[in-house]
Amino acid sequence: MPGEKILLADDDPQMLGLLNEFLAGQGYQVATAADGHQALAALETGEFHLALLDLKLPGLSGLQVLFLIKAHSPETEVILFTGHAGLESAIEALRLGAYDYLLKSGLRLADLQASVERALERHRLARANRELVDHLRQAQEELAQRRAAELIQIRRTGESLAGALTWEQILEGLLNLIWESLPLEVLALEVQGAGVGMPLEAYRRQPDLGETTFQHFKTWAKAQIHLEAQGETDSGLPDPPPRQTPCPALLWEKVRVGEVLALVAAGRQAPFSPEEGELFRIFTLQGQAALKNLLLFQQVESLALRDGLTGLYNFRHFWEVLGHQVELSRRYGRPLAMLFLDLDDFKVINDTLGHPAGDLVLKTVAAYLEGAVRQADVVCRYGGEEFVVLLPYTSLEQGLLLAERLRLGVSQMAVPLPDGEVKCSVSIGVAGLDPGMDGEALVQAADAALYRAKEAGKNRVCGAEGLVG
């Protein structure tokens, strides 16, 4: 919404100027700061709807400024910038109340604009929630005991859902709080969509509710979320009357967060009052905020584990998985093999065709490797043009066979480019975990085998005993 106030803090004058110009062009009121102390001074001049902070601010870090903002103005949303992805700083930022965590490298203004709009939307929602809670508080003067209990439940909702970091915890927490706050006969929560995995559901019912009525309610709830998922309802119009209403009185809210769709529905014999309907909607909005936080947490976690170019697991995650797989191999006596792959003459591709073509080759090879191995295998980008594949339950001989198949597949691959296509090849070193080996020794053995494959003329597979192909 134009006119909303944004604090922008970054010690890079060029970045500060660019973002200031962009945000001001969108109609926002922007105040700038070059370090943490200037940011705090700006915050003392008035309330900001959103703060965009560099993680590495001079004087006070972005995390320190975030902590102070949330301590004195908790409704101000905060987005942090950083030049490097770090899981610890990202999780700490989320725990301190940050809305988003963006990498400067590769940042597009369209992505920034989308994140800013979502953060301001949440700020408006929080303010609307607060105004609604204030309205309910005024009504408590007439119905003190009942309204006091309702506000306690609202607070409990926020506290319970703020710490929920799994889908199951959010479902159970939200349903328990609604069930304890409103006199209901039956309650349902259905969730489905990308990122959730299998559809999730949770139900509550009174013991005296008939089985036929309960099954009718479940069928109705599943039909409602199915219709919404298939796009058979128009979100711009009022909800149509439910088909074969399972209860005389119903409350339901449908929530979308990205590609995740949720339905919360409650039923009983007696009609619901307007106040009960508003309270039900508040709980649903709190649940929606919890879903947003969970999806954001998953995105940040994935960012810390994945290579930005290829989407494969990165070097850091490889070493974490390697230690775990070596431990499992020793404990259960199962074989473990590893492939070390290196694109042949990759520097020539970069030098002659340019780095964009080289990036496309890396992404194409990465996609092929990920699709050519088992789900249990772990494919990682080790660095540059090097890849590693961990193969649980795989002997050295089986690893050599797979390596030869991968080598042949890459050699037959043609990577399409704007001006034609390019072919490439890989050399692969293969090693198996021997008794007494640790993870580092396994990597060294595979790397040594890779070196021998390179020395033998490239486009080869080599194991501990020598060349395979």
Q: Which fold is adopted by the domain 315-467? A: Alpha-Beta Plaits (3.30.70)
One-letter amino acid for residue 147 of the chain: R
Which helix (H) or strand (E) segment is 418 a member of? none
**What is the pLDDT tens value at each position of the chain, 469 positions in all?**
667 899 999 988 888 888 898 888 888 899 999 998 998 888 888 889 998 988 888 988 888 888 888 888 888 899 888 876 566 777 787 788 888 888 877 778 888 888 888 888 888 887 877 777 777 677 666 555 555 555 555 555 555 555 545 667 777 777 777 888 888 999 988 887 655 555 678 888 999 988 888 998 888 888 888 777 666 444 333 444 444 567 888 888 887 777 778 888 899 989 998 888 888 888 777 777 777 766 665 555 555 678 888 888 888 888 988 998 999 999 889 999 999 999 999 999 898 889 899 999 999 999 999 999 998 899 999 989 999 999 999 999 999 999 999 999 999 998 988 888 899 999 999 999 998 899 999 999 999 999 999 999 999 999 976 555 5
How far, in Å, CA of 334 to CA of 339, rounded?
17
Q: Return the number of other C-beta atoms located less than 10 Å from residue 174's C-beta.
A: 26
Tokens representing 171?
Answer: 């479902």
Which helix (H) or strand (E) segment is 199 a member of? none
Tokens representing 441?
Answer: 């020794």
Q: What is the reported pLDDT for 152?
A: 57
Q: What is the reported pLDDT for 381?
A: 92
Instruction: Kindly report the three-state secondary structure assignment for every residue of 217-248.
Output: HHHHHHHHHHHHHCCCCCCCCCCCCCCCCCCC
Is the distance from CB of 433 to CB of 442 less than 8 angstroms?
A: yes
CA distances from 212 to 209, 216, 246, 248 (A): 9, 6, 10, 15
pTM for this structure? Answer: 0.43
Domain ranges of the chain: 5-122, 143-301, 315-467
How far, in Å, CA of 383 to CA of 314, rounded?
8
3-class DSSP assignment, residue 317: helix
**Cross-strand bridge partners of residue 341:** 387, 428
Q: What is the DSSP string of 342-383?
A: EETTHHHHHHHH-HHHHHHHHHHHHHHHHHHS-TTSEEEEEE
Q: What is the DSSP letter of 263?
A: E
Is the distance from CB of 72 to CB of 63 less than 8 angstroms?
A: no
**Is 315-467 in the same CATH topology as 143-301?**
no
CA distances from 266 to 215, 255, 274, 453 (A): 14, 15, 14, 66
Is the distance from CB of 172 to CB of 143 less than 8 angstroms?
A: no
Of 434, 117, 136, 83, nearest to 280 by C-alpha is 136
Cα atoms found within 13 Å of the Cα of residue 307, Cβ hemisphere only:
23
Q: Return the number of other C-beta atoms located less than 10 Å from residue 264's C-beta.
A: 25
Question: End-to-end alpha-carbon separation of the chain, Å?
Answer: 63
Helices 274-305, 315-332: axis angle to 10 degrees equals: 90
- Contacts for 35 with CB less than 8 Å, ≥ 6 apart: 9, 11, 57, 58, 59, 60
Tokens representing 66?
Answer: 């975030």
How far, in Å, CA of 327 to CA of 389, rounded?
17
Is the distance from CB of 405 to CB of 439 less than 8 angstroms?
A: no
The CATH number of domain 5-122, selected from 3.30.565.10, 3.30.390.30, 1.10.3720.10, 3.40.50.2300: 3.40.50.2300
- Contacts for 430 with CB less than 8 Å, ≥ 6 apart: 337, 338, 339, 340, 396, 399, 400, 403, 446, 449, 461, 462, 463, 464, 468
Tokens 């520097």, residue? 347
Q: Return the number of other C-beta atoms located less than 10 Å from residue 360's C-beta.
A: 19
One-letter amino acid for residue 142 of the chain: E
The CATH number of domain 143-301, selected from 3.40.120.10, 3.40.50.300, 3.30.450.40, 3.40.50.10800: 3.30.450.40
Tokens 């965590």, residue? 101
3-class DSSP assignment, residue 10: coil
